[in-house]
């Protein structure tokens, strides 16, 4: 569970009327610089498993593209339900 799940939750709570597509886009735009700084710091300390990073990117990048395309066509209510369910399940898994 990274900045995305926490950030999305706070944005959803603070701005409940924000469309889901803008909520996700805002959260990603916010998370990218945070993750970059954190990633550089961990890489400098030697805490990065580069083969795992490559494997994660090979699955994540196409998934992100597909998700962005689908977000254009999903009805707002369905997008909010899916986002809420995903955040809920992430929270349950952490517990």
At 54, is the pLDDT very low, low, confident or very high (cuts 50, 70, 90)? very high
Question: Per 3-state DSSP, what percentage of the chain is helix, strand, and coil (rounded to 5)?
Answer: 80, 0, 20
Residues making up the chain, counted from first to last: 95
- Average model confidence (pLDDT) for the chain? 87
Q: In the structure, what pLDDT confidence band is assigned to residue 80 with cuts at 50, 70 and 90?
A: confident
Say what the pTM is. Answer: 0.59
Residues 74-83 have a mean pLDDT of 87
Angle at 71 between CA 68 and CA 72, to 5 degrees: 100
Distance CA 9, CA 4 (A): 8
- Please state the rounded mean pLDDT for residues 19-43: 88
> What is the pLDDT at residue 32?
86
């Amino acid at each position: 569970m990274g900045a995305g799940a926490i950030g999305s939750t706070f944005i959803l709570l603070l701005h409940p009327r924000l469309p889901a597509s803008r909520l996700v886009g805002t959260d990603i735009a916010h998370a990218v610089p945070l993750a970059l700084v954190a990633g550089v710091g961990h890489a400098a300390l030697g805490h990065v498993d580069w083969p795992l990073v490559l494997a994660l990117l090979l699955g994540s990048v196409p998934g992100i593209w597909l998700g962005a395309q689908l977000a254009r066509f999903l009805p707002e209510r369905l997008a909010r339900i899916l986002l809420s369910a995903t955040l809920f399940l992430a929270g349950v898994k952490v517990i």
